[in-house]
Amino acid sequence: EPVRLKDYKAPDYLIDAVDLDVKLHATATRIVSRLSIRPNPHGRRDAALVLDGDGLNARRITLDGEAIDLDKALLSPDQLTLAAPPQRPFALEIETEIDPSANTRLMGLYRSGSAYCTQCEPEGFRRITYFLDRPDVLSVYTVRIEADRSEAPLLLSNGNLIEAGDLEGGKRHYAVWRDPFPKPSYLFALVGGDLGSVHDEFITKSGRKVALGIHVEHGKEPHAAYAMDALKRSMAWDETAFGREYDLDVFNIVAVSDFNMGAMENKGLNIFNDKYVLASPATATDADYAHIEAVIAHEYFHNWTGNRITCRDWFQLCLKEGLTVFRDHEFSSDMRSRAVHRIADVRALRAAQFPEDAGPLAHNVRPETYHEINNFYTATIYEKGAEVIRMLKVLIGEAAFARGMNLYFDRYDGTAATIEDFISCFAEAANRDLTAFSRWYHQSGTPLVEANGAYDAAARTFTLEFRQFSKPTPGQDHKEPFVIPIALGLVGRDGDLPLKVGAQNGASALEISRAVFELSAPSRKITFLDVPSRPVPSLLRGFSAPVRLDYPASEADLITLIAHDSDSFNRWQAAQTYASRLLLRSVANIRAGGEARHDQGFIDALGVVLNKSSDPAYTAQMITLPSEADIARDMGEDVDPDAIHAARDALRQAIGKSLAAGLLSAYARHAENGPYSPDAEAAGRRALRNAALDLYCAGEPVEGARLAARQFEAADTMTNEIAALGALAQRAGSLREGALDTFYRRHAAEALVIDKWFALQAMIPETDTLERIQKLMRHAAFSLQNPNRVRSLIGAFATGNQTRFNAPDGSGYDFVAGVVLDLDQKNPQVAARLLAAFKSWRSLEAKRRGLAEAALRRIAAEGALSADVKDIVERSLG
């Protein structure tokens, strides 16, 4: 029985206040919960009160101080029901006892190392106590925590600390926290432990002094400095960019090493996977620094988009996640290079979200039904959800967008809202009907836009014709047209041409002035006037909509765009399109028994880009070819990963050989030129240098390995060290194995660095990789209990090693299926996420498709699957 959006009903009871009394104990933590309950004036009268539980056992229940007979309370591990509760305000007190040490799902209250921590989103609070565990029940929490001082000198919860003290002569102690902002249970958090702390402060624009704390494993305090810096920048940015100020006197972040996801925005007490907090030049790459900055910002921004305004139900998840990702993308773009950031975001969207939308797990940005909500923390909800908001901004313009955001904050502060509420603010601010635009929330799948251009030399006109197509997706056979904003320009030999459009085309003045044309019907034609010669259209500038674009540009057109397009995204896109076409032709040749294709024109164009290079970060993106997964996605069906690998390898070799001198010179020109800085400029230089090294190694393996070995020996930053190791790992042999051993010895004490060592080995595209992984699973540093270890070894294999996961004998599928089943016994959420690696199985060539399906069917046939894995396997098989 799935949960359905259309069945939403307001709760029959509200819980205005929650008083929790928690006595921490490793195996027997006692929780007394006092709930101030009243009938909801908008609910049904005389309804039963049904509280959610998950594996609970109540030891005592009282109603207004009177003990309730536990049998009469219709008590089960999953539910506590009062058949006829009072129809007036009343107090319910429930005592539960739980075992945090036995909690391997990492939902609810669990142990990470010696610390106690919680994860309650979406439905973890019910693993702590019985509650109306749904986001539209908002309560004020007061939390008293008691523990042995030696075990947990640090006691944290949401809000402000109002009291603390010693017990039993200092052997035990307690702290009382109160969060004045009514919040749903999923934002509750509690931490107890012995951690090292870093403190700072932030003064908001209206003068509130906020005490900031980041709490990490002892000894790691210096590694929290960058996170603290990112936090302060996030707080300042939200004030200027969105007018949002922080609202409590304290803001705490706790880093733990066992965490299912990235991080969690609990009010005033964010809990993080330590991977997104800890950084030092010697242990974290530039990409790690960028991720830390983005996740710190993301969770902080949730304080307004998620916490102050929360979600009415879990179908509205994108209301907070899509919007908050949009906000963190804007932040990172302002902190770094907007152009480079856009490319990275689009690469990530195409890598993670497009395949989801094209396969059996496709779902709406605003889903209408689910079996297991944990499986909906997806790239579609997060990344596509952010793209939809970005499109909205492009469509209605910056000013109307800002007015709409302010309206949203004003009108819905303190409430649990819906997507309709959100959109209505922009409709009002822009004075525009957004019904058709909202289809982006209600229809899944990535639309295909086909464009064609015709130049009429006599009339000096250029006509563009657009058509949109949407394939059926699960449960959606027919789709209404999407409203697709297409930012565009016409590029001539000297750059952009002025756009002039005839009135008969129906293009609005607004469209022309912004150069954003709206494709809201199945097709549309636009004729540009006074075009002196055949132009090259630059379409979907800045990736103005999450669609696939097909325009029959000639190779000469693409070279023109690479050289002259004023839109930096489309210069990059033209190079990607060129490479992708070349690679697809090579794949076809290779499968027909022939050879990879060569195209000196493309390689020369890259050579020009490399030599000009005024922006190293951007140039690094330009010379990085589409990934094997990108090419598979462009093929769409009958995918043969071995042919793709061979084609891409051959092109890398050809580029590396042909541009060897240019690559070496770029490598030399971008050597470190000062003390380490994680900023975008310095990171960009390293990115280009290492991208050059990578291609050089492909073209000149012997010389390249020598260079990489030298870099590996001398490296004093993780960015340069892991890049060198990656370059050395390109070729089997003692050089590679020696470097892997050295790396392990250098970093054995740092679990997060050893994760890189696992991932790098898991992605080696050689036949004995599976054996290597099986051996690494027995390595002392590996543990199936820790999500980061699972993701770096098994996850990297399943999503990052196209040829070996899709090994023609099915061994990769069988292996991952086996791990999924093992893991499902311990941590179903992480198991389900790993299983989602099968999402593109239907697009494989027949033999692999059969083997992948067989592996999925074996899982499906298993008796005792978790709801999480069952849901993914059933949807995958359709």
Q: How far apart are CA 525 and CA 523, in angstroms?
A: 7
- 73 or 837: CB nearest ligand ARG: 837
- 321 or 755: CB nearest Zn ion: 321
Q: Which does 799 bind (CB under 5 to 8 A by kind): ligand ARG, Zn ion, none?
A: none
Residue closest to 819 by CA, chosen among 835, 805, 808: 835
User: What would the DSSP string read from start to end of 60-97?
Assistant: EEEETTEE--TTTTTEETTEEEESS--SS-EEEEEEEE
Q: Minimum Å distance from CB 286 to ligand ARG? A: 22
- 270 or 690: CB nearest ligand ARG: 270
Q: Which does 313 bind (CB under 5 to 8 A by kind): Zn ion, ligand ARG, none?
A: none
Q: Which residues pair with 439 in a beta bridge?
A: none
Q: Which of 146, 299, 372, 700 is catalytic?
A: 299
User: Which parts of 700-784 fold into alpha helices (H)?
Assistant: 701-714, 718-728, 734-747, 751-762, 769-776
Q: Minimum Å distance from CB 372 to ligand ARG? A: 10
| Contact predicate 392/365, CB 8 Å | no
Tokens of 576: 């990607």
Q: Minimum Å distance from CB 421 to ligand ARG? A: 19
- 378 or 806: CB nearest ligand ARG: 378
Q: Minimum Å distance from CB 420 to ligand ARG? A: 21
Element (H, E) at 160: strand 160-167
Q: Minimum Å distance from CB 302 to ligand ARG? A: 7
| Contact predicate 195/214, CB 8 Å | no
**Backbone phi, psi, residue 91, to 5°:** -115, 130
Q: Minimum Å distance from CB 298 to Zn ion? A: 6
* Count of residues near Zn ion by CB under 5 A: 2
Q: Minimum Å distance from CB 377 to ligand ARG? A: 4
Q: Which does 377 bind (CB under 5 to 8 A by kind): ligand ARG, Zn ion, none?
A: ligand ARG
- 276 or 815: CB nearest ligand ARG: 276
- 126 or 597: CB nearest ligand ARG: 126
Contacts of 62 (CB under 8 A, 6+ apart): 68, 92, 93
Q: Minimum Å distance from CB 320 to ligand ARG? A: 7
CA distances from 250 to 205, 328, 848 (A): 16, 22, 54
Q: How far apart are CA 707 and CA 668, in angstroms?
A: 11
Q: Which does 538 bind (CB under 5 to 8 A by kind): ligand ARG, Zn ion, none?
A: none
Q: Minimum Å distance from CB 874 to ligand ARG? A: 19
3-class DSSP state of 309: strand
| Contact predicate 60/122, CB 8 Å | no
- 658 or 827: CB nearest ligand ARG: 827
- Print burial letters for 710-738: b (CB count within 10 Å at least 16), e (below 16): ebbeebebbbbbbbbbbbbbbbeeebbee
The yes-or-no answer on residue 383 being catalytic is: no
Q: Which does 374 bind (CB under 5 to 8 A by kind): Zn ion, ligand ARG, none?
A: ligand ARG
Q: How far apart are CA 436 and CA 391, in angstroms?
A: 13
| Contact predicate 8/68, CB 8 Å | no
**Other C-beta atoms within 10 Å of 439: how many?**
17
Q: How far apart are CA 323 and CA 315, in angstroms?
A: 14
DSSP 109: E
484-492 and 516-519 strand pairing: antiparallel
| Contact predicate 86/93, CB 8 Å | no
Q: Minimum Å distance from CB 125 to ligand ARG? A: 12
- 324 or 470: CB nearest Zn ion: 324
- Tell me which residues touch ligand ARG (CB under 6 A): 119, 121-122, 260-261, 263-265, 298-299, 321, 374, 377, 829
Instruction: List Cβ<8 Å contacts ≥24 apart for 604-613.
Output: 605/559, 605/562, 605/563, 605/575, 605/578, 606/575, 606/655, 606/659, 607/658, 607/659, 607/662, 608/563, 609/562, 609/575, 610/659, 610/662, 610/663, 610/666, 610/692, 611/662, 611/665, 611/666, 613/666, 613/688
| Contact predicate 370/3, CB 8 Å | yes
Only one of the segments 172-180, 323-331, 507-515, 795-803 lies at the binding site for Zn ion (rule: CB under 5 A); that segment is 323-331
- 378 or 444: CB nearest ligand ARG: 378
Residue closest to 272 by CA, chosen among 119, 495, 486, 87: 119
Q: Which does 261 bind (CB under 5 to 8 A by kind): ligand ARG, Zn ion, none?
A: ligand ARG
- 321 or 694: CB nearest ligand ARG: 321
- 256 or 631: CB nearest ligand ARG: 256
Q: How far apart are CA 167 and CA 155, in angstroms?
A: 14
- 616 or 787: CB nearest ligand ARG: 787
- 117 or 715: CB nearest Zn ion: 117
Q: Which amino acid is at 3?
A: V
Only one of the segments 158-166, 189-197, 319-327, 554-562 lies at the binding site for Zn ion (rule: CB under 5 A); that segment is 319-327
**Other C-beta atoms within 10 Å of 754: how many?**
21
Q: Minimum Å distance from CB 715 to ligand ARG? A: 33
Q: Which does 264 bind (CB under 5 to 8 A by kind): ligand ARG, Zn ion, none?
A: ligand ARG
Q: Minimum Å distance from CB 166 to ligand ARG? A: 35
User: What would the DSSP string read from start to end of 185-254?
Assistant: GGG--EEEE--EEEEEEEE-TT--EEEEEEEESTT-GGGGHHHHHHHHHHHHHHHHHH-----SSEEEEE
Only one of the segments 167-175, 313-321, 408-416, 500-508 lies at the binding site for Zn ion (rule: CB under 5 A); that segment is 313-321
Contacts of 594 (CB under 8 A, 6+ apart): none
Only one of the segments 60-68, 316-324, 459-467, 591-599 lies at the binding site for Zn ion (rule: CB under 5 A); that segment is 316-324
**Backbone phi, psi, residue 537, to 5°:** -75, 140
Q: Minimum Å distance from CB 757 to ligand ARG? A: 27
Site string for Zn ion, 676-705 (x = CB under 5 A): ------------------------------
Q: Which amino acid is at 551?
A: Y
**Other C-beta atoms within 10 Å of 823: how many?**
25
Q: How far apart are CA 854 and CA 874, in angstroms?
A: 13
Catalytic residue list: 299
**Which residues contact Zn ion (rule: CB under 5 A)?**
321, 324
